[in-house]
Amino acid sequence: MRSCLRAPHRFQRPLPLLALLALLALSWPGRAAAQAASEPSAASLAARGESARAGERCEASVAETLRKMRGAEAYDVQFVAAQRVVAPTDDVEIGVKGAGRYRAASGRGGNSFTFSCSFNTRTAQTSAVVLREAGGGPGARAEPPFQPDLSRISPEACESAVAQALKQKHPRVAHIAMEPDTRRLQPGPDERIVQLLGHGAVQRAPGMNAVPFSYTCDVDARSGRVVSVRTSV
């Protein structure tokens, strides 16, 4: 008589699925840690943002200073991104160094320059803008290096002092015109002084023809104060 008893059915566990789940469970913390390590922190993102802002603000200050000092002679100011160096100097100050070039409106070629600048992260203001110009073409005259903070030097303050000096020299003066394109800087007799030079035209009395003149302002490099003025008509 054939037995009807059968061997008990052996339960087949889905081992591949369980193994896969176990593998995922074991690997997940490592994957999460690696992903967290690869993602920039909020602090590093903020630091990058401040560095980018410092570079942009300093380059804007340098371009504005060039236009003030050179007038229409400085246009199409461009900066070399690869030469921008940004590094914190203390808890609130970021130092920026770089290089650039501008084209001269007179067609005398362009001028290359290097610069340094400080950016205050609390006030979002720039200071200590220092420019060093070098002639850009064959036969171009190299400018002497300048160490003073050019952001403190005001051509308008110099020209206002020049106008007052001319009025004292010619009490009946009718008209004074400055020529911003002729502005230039040069080192003074000592490290404390920077000289701002330029030209203009003056009508010494009503009905007279205007005559050209030149001027020199001695400016305190630290405070930006006009120390003395000389004119020649």
Examine the domain organization and report whether 53 and 137 are in the same domain. yes
Residues 125 and 172 in one domain: no
Query: Which residues sit opposite 217 in a β-bridge?
Result: 196, 229
Considering the domain architecture, whether residues 93 and 165 belong to the same structural domain is answered as no
Alpha helices in the chain (DSSP H): 15-38, 42-70, 155-169
Q: Are residues 52 and 141 in the same domain?
A: yes
Are residues 128 and 53 part of one domain? yes
**What is the domain range of residue 115?**
43-149
In the block, tokens 């010619």 appear at 170
104 & 179 share domain: no
pTM: 0.51
User: What is the pLDDT tens value at each position of the chain, 233 positions in all?
Assistant: 454 455 555 545 555 555 555 555 555 555 555 555 555 565 665 678 898 999 999 999 888 888 877 777 777 889 998 899 998 888 889 999 999 998 876 665 568 889 989 899 998 888 878 888 775 443 344 444 445 666 778 899 999 999 999 999 999 999 999 998 888 888 888 778 888 999 999 999 999 999 999 999 999 988 889 999 999 97
- Residue 196: its H or E element: strand 193-203
> Of 105, 133, 149, which residue constitutes the final position of a domain?
149
Phi, psi dihedral angles at 117 (to 5 degrees): -160, 155
Query: Are 165 and 209 within one domain?
Result: yes
Q: Are 73 and 105 in contact, with CB atoms under 8 Å apart?
A: yes
Residue 212 located in a structural domain:
yes
Give domain status of residue 207, yes or no: yes
pLDDT at site 112: 87
Distance, in Å, from the CA atom of 219 to the CA atom of 221, rounded to the nearest integer, reads: 6
69 and 163 assigned to the same domain: no
Contact residues for 103 (Cβ-Cβ < 8 A; gap 6+): 75, 76, 109, 110
Total number of domains in the chain: 2
Whether 189 is in a domain gets the answer yes
Q: How many CB atoms sit inside 10 A of residue 100's CB?
A: 21
| Domain C-terminal end among 127, 149, 171 | 149
| Same domain as 104, residue 144 | yes
Using the 3D structure, point to which of 121, 149, 177 is the last residue of a domain. Answer: 149
112 plus 61 within the same structural domain: yes
pLDDT of residue 129: 83
- The β-bridge partners of 21 are none
